[in-house]
Structure formats: structure tokens, C-alpha cells
Amino acid sequence: GAVVSQHPSWVICKSGTSVKIECRSLDFQATTMFWYRQFPKQSLMLMATSNEGSKATYEQGVEKDKFLINHASLTLSTLTVTSAHPEDSSFYICSAKTGVNEKLFFGSGTQLSVL
Amino acid sequence: SQQGEEDPQALSIQEGENATMNCSYKTSINNLQWYRQNSGRGLVHLILIRSNEREKHSGRLRVTLDTSKKSSSLLITASRAADTASYFCATDLTGANSKLTFGKGITLSVRP
């Protein structure tokens, strides 16, 4: 099956620093990638949808200047949490889909802890 | 509120028993999908059922869809301890290239 690699698996950073999370589709071309945030024992909250070569579409309430998304190629999307604060601590997950396949392929997630 | 809402929120069963999880949604859908998540990991796609289908099987999984009631159920037969995970239903409103809306999830614990 299709594989999505997400790095890093976990990151601890100081408040005010920026953190970049990478999401790569290893064996397929991802026309669309999604970024989610998940709190403990909660559902996935969609943050944004990114299509290769175009600007990401952010969900209501998600600050686009704080959560920068770049989808520069059909196999790579990045999420940068800028000037991170403790309230940004969460589990971030990416997913990818091809043009005609309706199911999503998920990365393994990144646990971000901001001190 | 969520498009998809599962119940129960938590389920604990003995190994070998069947586990039934339900999902209700509010608007018309193109398809409904079930995913599994192990603690601290990403989600894994289990099964997809389209709006014109009523039942699908995949191994020990059986999913049903009742569009008149806007509900779906996931049945795991002969459960195993390894089935312990969170299970999410997700609704797809328009099909390819659209986003999925996830429910809150059901925590399944299978006791050995």
C-alpha cells in the first residue's frame, strides 16, 4: 500500500522558536495533502488542505501566518509552526491522497511539545 | 457539531467476542470510511463504503450503511487483543479530492 512518511516523530522546542514538520509520499504522487491537529483522546481537526503548486486552503480559525504550509512537489508538503507557544503543543498528522483514490494515507504523526 | 459521531465512545470486550461500533452523520455523503488509530500513531484506512452500497466485507470487518438513517456500523468479528485501538468514521461529501470529516472516535479495548 501507499506509504506516507512524516518527520520528525516528536519534537521538543522552546517557546518562540519555529518547527518544521515534513510529510512525504514515498511511492505515489500526492495531488492533495491534508494537515490535522489532534488533542489527546479527541478527533482529528483539519487545519488545512494543500494542493501541489498552489496556496493552502486553511480551515476557519486556523492562523495561516502561524501555520505555514508549503506543498512544493507532488511528494512533499511541510508544515511550519512559527513562533511556537505552549498552547501549540499537540499531535500533528498529515495525510495524502491521489487524484482518483478517495481514501487517505496517513503519516505516523508528530508530537510537538513547546516548553 | 461533528458530521460523523460514533457511539459508544468506549467499548471493552473479551477476546473472541464481536465488537460493533456505530456512526451517525448529518448531511448527504458520497462515501463513508472507517479508520483505525493505534495510540500515538497515524490512521490506517480500513474500509470504504459508497452511498449506493449497503454492506461491505473485508476479512473480519463488516460495515453497513443506511443512508435513510444516515448511519453506519462497523462490526469486527472474533476480536483479538491486537484490535485494541481507536476507530474513526469519516464522511466524504463529494468524492475524489474532497476533504474527510472525522468523528470523535471509539476506543476499543479487547481483553486477552
Banded model confidence at residue B34, pLDDT cuts 50, 70, 90: very high
> Using one digit for the tens of pLDDT, what is the confidence trace for B37-81?
998 899 999 999 999 999 999 999 999 999 999 999 999 999 999
**Nearest CB neighbour to A107, from listed B42, B48, B95:** B42
CB contact under 8 A, B102 and A6: no
The DSSP symbol for B39 reads T
| Residue pairs spanning A and B at CB distance below 8 A | 61
> Using one digit for the tens of pLDDT, what is the confidence trace for A12-22?
999 999 999 99
Lowest mean pLDDT among A59-68, A98-107, B48-57, B74-83: A98-107
B1: pLDDT strictly greater than 50: no
What pLDDT was estimated at residue B82? 96
Chain B contact for A14, CB < 8 A?
Answer: no
Task: Locate the DSSP E strands across chain B.
Answer: 4-7, 10-14, 19-25, 31-37, 43-50, 55-58, 61-66, 71-76, 85-92, 100-102, 106-111
